[in-house]
A = this chain, B = another copy of it.
Amino acid sequence: MSTSTGTGTPPATTADTDRLWSVDEHLDDILGKLRPLEPIELQLLDAQGCVLVEDVTVPAALPPFDNSSMDGYAVRVADVEGASEEFPAVLTIVGDIAAGSGELPAVGPGEAVRIMTGAPVPPGAEAVVPVEWTDGGTGGGRADAMTAGRPAADGDGPGLGEVRVHRPAAARAHIRDRGSDVGAGEIAVRAGTVLGPSQIGLLAAIGRASVTVRPRPRVVVVSTGSELVPPGEALTAGRIHDSNSFMLTACARDAGAIAYRVGAVDDEPATLRSTLDDQLVRADAVVTSGGVSVGAYDVVKEALSGLTAEEGRVSFRRLAMQPGKPQGFGRIGPDRTPLFALPGNPVSAYVSFELFVRPAVRALMGLPPFGDRRTVRAVCPQGVASSPRGRRQYLRGHYADGRVTTVGGAGSHLVKALADANALIVVPENVTSLAAGAEVDVVLLD
């Protein structure tokens, strides 16, 4: 059969259309044709959730200097040996070190320096005694806090007084050694790591303001159909609201992409072509919905089936799955931007995104394509009365506690049931029904 007899429909040139592709073949074809996005340098917080492509080494040891882990007093060990509340060691306070202090007073015999958490340990000091082990310089009993005896701007001066220390301290007590966190030259974060809050914290701590990562893909979402009206506007006869462009934009973000919703385009191939030409400049991938089946006005198929070699190539094919039988995939434009032409029925579009675009978005980011969804076995108390032979069926389900119930029927227009589902039930190609209580594979959607 040929589809070339009508006006505007290009000849069916590819063998793709002649056979049924399996879900896995289609996915393999997609992933085999994608390359992760080129790395770019991003400010640290812009890189959150992205994959690092460089081994980041530590330029200088962390901590960069010996510092106190407590608010207290830097002392010499011999001076506090045998100290007790009854017989405290009485030391002369010769200085005060806040965190960030540059110039450090030395601690001589019989002397102590007030020191705050994180502040550098001064020369001569061998340990820090926490303020709770002292009288806090008050001459009273056990202290709960340091007094805020800020030194005068011109130096320490007299009047810092004495501190009574109630307990001995071992050498290096309450001192964090230079380099005890990570040493200079060590690898802080390895290439391939996804940057979460703690990795971003470490990178900042070693002084990195920016890092080289694979960016989030920019995904342009276009729905097609002359029947589509934006939500918020009234429907006239034969028209429905555009929902796919909203749903797929949300799907793309959920997968990690930066998504741009273009909205609905009429079933005019020239309009679609010019829209895509305009959008390609900001797209790392394009997702369309609708217009890929065997109808007479299947605009995506019509616009993209007959591209020249220079323009790219999009293959349209039939998949052995339900919903989502008609699919297109290819690469278009000067940068060979991947384009996913999903079917237009909302449930078909959703399932297709989940199976094909989500892994692709992850692959473009340099992430493992399948790392983010859990598939579990579950008991299906109702069973499945019928499933098409030779096609892998994805039914909507509600999963809880090892059991899954189907939600709505197989109809790919049932968006209410889709919104009520939290899982996809996978009925394999060779299974045409499932007995009540059978075990099934379930893809958890949240």
Q: Which A residues contact B (CB, under 8 angstroms)?
A: 1, 3, 5-9, 12, 17, 44-45, 48, 60, 62-65, 69, 71, 96, 98-104, 114, 116-120, 131-132, 136, 138, 140-150, 176, 180-182, 186, 188-189, 196-210, 225-228, 230-233, 235-251, 253-254, 261, 267, 293-298, 302, 344-346, 350, 411-419, 421, 445-446
Say yes or no: B146 contacts A296, CB within 8 Å.
Answer: yes
Say yes or no: B247 contacts A231, CB within 8 Å.
Answer: no
Given A3-B144, A44-B231, A296-B147, is A198 in contact with B344 using a C-beta cutoff of 8 Å?
no
CA distance A242 to B412 in the complex (A): 52
CA distance A254 to B197 in the complex (A): 8
Say yes or no: B180 contacts A446, CB within 8 Å.
Answer: no
Say yes or no: A415 contacts B197, CB within 8 Å.
Answer: no
| CB contact between A419 and one of B6, B146, B198, B297 (< 8 Å): that residue | B198
Say yes or no: B140 contacts A247, CB within 8 Å.
Answer: no
Q: Shortest CB–CB separation between residue A179 and chain B, in angstroms?
A: 11
Q: Shortest CB–CB separation between residue A241 and chain B, in angstroms?
A: 5
Q: Shortest CB–CB separation between residue A207 and chain B, in angstroms?
A: 5
Could you write out 20 A-B pairs with CB less than 8 Å apart?
A: A17-B144, A102-B236, A116-B296, A117-B295, A120-B237, A131-B294, A146-B296, A181-B414, A181-B415, A189-B419, A198-B418, A200-B250, A201-B246, A202-B243, A203-B231, A204-B242, A205-B241, A205-B415, A206-B241, A209-B232
Given A231-B203, A243-B202, A416-B202, is A150 in contact with B119 using a C-beta cutoff of 8 Å?
no
- When distances are taken between beta carbons in the complex, the residues of chain B under 8 Å from A181 are 411, 413-417
| CB contact between A147 and one of B9, B71, B100, B415 (< 8 Å): that residue | B9
Name the prevailing secondary structure of the A interface residues: loop
- When distances are taken between beta carbons in the complex, the residues of chain B under 8 Å from A414 are 180-181
- When distances are taken between beta carbons in the complex, the residues of chain B under 8 Å from A12 are 145
Query: What 3 pairs across the A-B complex have the smallest Cβ distances?
Result: A100-B227, A201-B247, A209-B232
Q: Shortest CB–CB separation between residue A336 and chain B, in angstroms?
A: 27
- When distances are taken between beta carbons in the complex, the residues of chain B under 8 Å from A199 are 419
| CB contact between A48 and one of B176, B243, B248, B250 (< 8 Å): that residue | B250
Count copies of this chain in the complex.
2
CA distance A253 to B413 in the complex (A): 35
**Known pairs A60-B235, A145-B296, A181-B411. 7 more at Cβ < 8 A?**
A64-B240, A98-B296, A98-B297, A145-B295, A197-B250, A198-B418, A206-B231
Q: Shortest CB–CB separation between residue A210 and chain B, in angstroms?
A: 7
Given A45-B249, A98-B226, A197-B251, is A296 in contact with B114 using a C-beta cutoff of 8 Å?
yes
Say yes or no: A227 contacts B147, CB within 8 Å.
Answer: no
Say yes or no: A71 contacts B241, CB within 8 Å.
Answer: no
CA distance A12 to B146 in the complex (A): 13
| CB contact between A253 and one of B48, B248, B445 (< 8 Å): that residue | B48
- When distances are taken between beta carbons in the complex, the residues of chain B under 8 Å from A63 are 240, 413
- When distances are taken between beta carbons in the complex, the residues of chain B under 8 Å from A345 are 117-118
- When distances are taken between beta carbons in the complex, the residues of chain B under 8 Å from A149 are 6-7, 296
Say yes or no: A350 contacts B145, CB within 8 Å.
Answer: no
CA distance A254 to B138 in the complex (A): 45
Say yes or no: A148 contacts B9, CB within 8 Å.
Answer: yes
Say yes or no: B98 contacts A237, CB within 8 Å.
Answer: no
Say yes or no: A201 contacts B350, CB within 8 Å.
Answer: yes
Given A44-B246, A241-B207, A419-B189, is A297 in contact with B99 using a C-beta cutoff of 8 Å?
yes
| CB contact between A295 and one of B146, B237, B295 (< 8 Å): that residue | B146
Say yes or no: A204 contacts B247, CB within 8 Å.
Answer: yes
| CB contact between A99 and one of B180, B244, B249, B267 (< 8 Å): that residue | B267
Q: Shortest CB–CB separation between residue A3 and chain B, in angstroms?
A: 5
Q: Shortest CB–CB separation between residue A401 and chain B, in angstroms?
A: 15
Say yes or no: A231 contacts B246, CB within 8 Å.
Answer: no
| CB contact between A200 and one of B119, B241, B246, B293 (< 8 Å): that residue | B246
Q: Shortest CB–CB separation between residue A150 and chain B, in angstroms?
A: 6
Q: Select from chain B the residue with minimum beta-carbon distance to A205.
A: B243
Say yes or no: B144 contacts A294, CB within 8 Å.
Answer: yes
CA distance A419 to B189 in the complex (A): 8
